[in-house]
Amino acid sequence: MEHFKRSTEVEIALVLTNNPDAYVLQRADNFEIPSHIFDKNEFYKTDNIIDMLKNLDIDLIVLAGFLWLIPKRLIAEYPGRIINIHPALLPKYGGKGMYGDYVHHAVLAAQETEGGITIHYVNESYDEGEYIYQAKYRIEKGDNLEMIKFKGQQLEHQHYPRIVEGIIKKIKK
């Protein structure tokens, strides 16, 4: 939101979440971006979300911290236009249950020497969509959970907005 607040090419038109306590709702409010909270029934059994997106003429759906599988009909409505960011170098440490600290704990437990992020298209399976971009960081011997989380977050902030912007430009051509 911060990155795109003055953009003439990218507008964040809506924030959707299934978590009524998500910090993104406060951020959306601060940036005067409309938001909507939904439950599993609305997401999986109705077309309300698709209708909202279509009514707003949404070009790209950008996921961040969303843990549910995306319904097939939403993927069909937005083919190649739903992206996600994962806090590991896929294909390692991906799949159901591999998110947030679970990923970072697994990376540390495996004594990896590098970590990273993967930005990928979303398909019907967790973390299996085509990769768009990966970035790496070194894991030093004394690094703990907080240190590798920080390194990953730095990469996310550096690369995700840039990748989103590039995809939007291609879509609008």
62-114 pLDDT, tens digit per residue, is: 999 899 999 999 999 999 999 999 999 999 999 999 999 999 999 999 999 99
| Catalytic annotation, pick one of 86, 104, 105, 120 | 86
3 in a domain, yes or no? no
Instruction: Report the candidate in 51, 118, 119, 121 with the shortest Cα–Cα distance to residue 80.
Output: 121
22 in a domain, yes or no? yes
- Contact predicate 137/155, CB 8 Å: yes
Average pLDDT value for the chain: 96
Q: Two tokens at 98?
A: 């591999």
CATH code of the domain covering residue 32 = 3.40.50.170
Instruction: Report the candidate in 105, 86, 93 with the shortest Cα–Cα distance to residue 155.
Output: 86
Spatial strand order of the sheet with 114-121 comes to 61-62, 82-86, 114-121, 131-138
Annotated active-site residue 86? The verdict is: yes
Structural domain for 147, as ranges: 15-172
Q: How many domains does the chain have?
A: 1
1 in a domain, yes or no? no
pLDDT at position 173 over 90: no
68 in a domain, yes or no? yes
- pTM for the full model? 0.94
96 in a domain, yes or no? yes
Q: Which helix (H) or strand (E) holds 24?
A: helix 23-30
Q: How confident is the model at residue 157 (pLDDT cuts 50, 70, 90)?
A: very high
**DSSP structural state of residue 130:** P
Q: What is the pLDDT of residue 130?
A: 97
Q: Which helix (H) or strand (E) holds 128?
A: none
125 in a domain, yes or no? yes
34 in a domain, yes or no? yes
45 in a domain, yes or no? yes
